[in-house]
Amino acid sequence: MQTHHGYYELHDISGYLVFEPDEIIFVQAEKNTVSSIIIGKLCTCSMYSNIRREILKADFSTLDNAVLLSAMQLSLAESILQ
């Protein structure tokens, strides 16, 4: 993905999820971590890397703000995680 702010790559994609109405979530999953790049129709881009899997199952009200958004967005793609 190339934007006005940089060029982003995510290798070894495990799967993807079309999140209606306008985003695609690409996921790369390892045994203990998950990385993703979320691309929007209007060229928005969010990239998360090396997120610990246990964070995705945590109580969101207990998470630090620094990982809250990544946990919420990646939990949407939990169905495609191996």
CA–CA distance, 40 with 32 (Å, rounded to integer): 27
Contact of 48 with 36, CB cutoff 8 Å: yes
Render pLDDT for 59-81 as a digit per residue (tens, 0 to 9).
988 988 888 888 888 887 777 77
- More confidently predicted of 27 and 66: 27
pLDDT above 90 coverage of the chain, percent: 29
pTM above 0.85, yes or no: no
Q: Confidence class of residue 16 from pLDDT cuts 50, 70 and 90?
A: very high
